[in-house]
């Protein structure tokens, strides 16, 4: 991921304007770090089959990180989660103001597709990648999940509906990251199976976040914790013990599927995925 971090720093969005803080604000959440989980998934799949095109794949990994970062900025806004902390830093509406945070989110969203359109692959491949990112990050994916999440605050949902919420809000972009890696290396059959694996992985990721929200401090998590009491979180609805059981069931299924990947893919993804599959276990 060291090459990815260098690529990110070399390709931070640039603005030439009279605005005194716009460019600094554009960079702030990107250079604050974060898990870089979605880029790592893309680069892991590509690295398993064709390390020679990893530099080109950085464009795709960066595009997904840009879209993900925009979603975090908007998710933290006063109208949504009203969170003061993200990636261990004050959120943009705290550092600057709400208008700046909204517009920076908008800018990163659109810049992600500009970056993706410049990826050094064929037009056919670029269109496939753009479609995946738009479909899973947009109106029938992450944005839908956010809309459901906000609308049903203080309105408890059945647990199956909560899974639908989080599959859209969290899992689809994780699944798309794995699928986009397979698209880059031209493995269409693998793309479908990796997407299905990613949906399950993304759902586990969200259950783990719900668990960590009540078991970690804000300092440990790098974001505000203990803030999901009004939300349709797994812990709020079924309790910590049942949430742990759900997470353990999914983790065990994912570990089994990971062990059934071909050797190249398993060797490339295991160090990353084993860590994240088990992160709720402490």
Give the whole-angstrom CA distance, residue 204 versus residue 236.
Answer: 16
Please measure the distance between the N-terminal and C-terminal CA atoms of the chain and give it in whole angstroms. Answer: 24
What are the residue ranges in the chain where pLDDT is below 50?
none
Question: Left (φ > 0), alpha (ψ -120 to 50) or beta: where does 77 sit?
Answer: beta
Q: What is the pLDDT of residue 220?
A: 65
Q: What was the pLDDT predicted at 15? A: 85
Residue 190's CB: how many other CB atoms inside 10 A? 21
For the chain, domains (ranges, CATH) are 2-281 (1.10.600.10)
Dihedral angle at the C-alpha atoms of 201, 206, 212, 214, nearest 10 degrees?
A: -150
* pTM > 0.85: yes or no: yes
> Over the Cα atoms of the chain, what is R_g?
18
Note the pLDDT of residue 162: 96
Q: Using a pLDDT cut of 70, give the percent of the chain over it.
A: 96
- What does the pLDDT read at residue 229? 66
């Amino acid at each position: 991921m060291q090459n990815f971090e260098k690529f990110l720093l070399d390709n931070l969005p640039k603005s030439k304007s009279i605005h005194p803080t716009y460019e600094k604000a554009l960079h702030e959440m990107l250079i604050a770090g974060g898990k870089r989980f979605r880029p790592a998934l893309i680069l892991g799949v590509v690295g398993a089959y064709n390390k020679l095109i990893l530099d080109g794949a950085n464009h795709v990994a960066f595009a997904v990180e840009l879209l993900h970062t925009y979603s975090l900025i908007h998710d933290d806004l006063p109208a949504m989660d009203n969170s003061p902390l993200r990636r261990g830093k004050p959120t943009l509406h705290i550092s600057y103001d709400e208008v700046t945070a909204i517009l920076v989110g908008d800018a990163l969203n659109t810049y992600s597709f500009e970056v993706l359109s410049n990826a050094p692959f064929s037009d056919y491949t670029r269109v496939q990648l753009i479609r995946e990112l738009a479909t899973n990050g947009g109106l029938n994916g992450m944005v839908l999940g956010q809309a459901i999440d906000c609308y049903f605050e203080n309105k408890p949902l059945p647990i199956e509906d909560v899974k639908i919420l989080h599959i859209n809000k969290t899992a689809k972009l994780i699944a798309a990251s794995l699928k986009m890696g397979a698209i880059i290396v031209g493995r269409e059959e693998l793309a479908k199976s990796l997407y299905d694996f990613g949906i399950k992985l993304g759902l586990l990721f969200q259950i783990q976040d719900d668990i960590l929200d009540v078991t970690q401090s804000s300092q440990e998590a790098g974001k505000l914790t203990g803030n999901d009491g009004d939300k349709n979180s797994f812990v709020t609805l079924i309790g910590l013990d049942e949430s742990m059981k759900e997470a353990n069931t999914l983790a065990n299924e994912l570990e089994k599927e990971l062990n059934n990947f071909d050797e190249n893919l398993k060797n490339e993804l295991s160090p990353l995925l084993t860590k994240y599959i088990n992160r709720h276990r402490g």
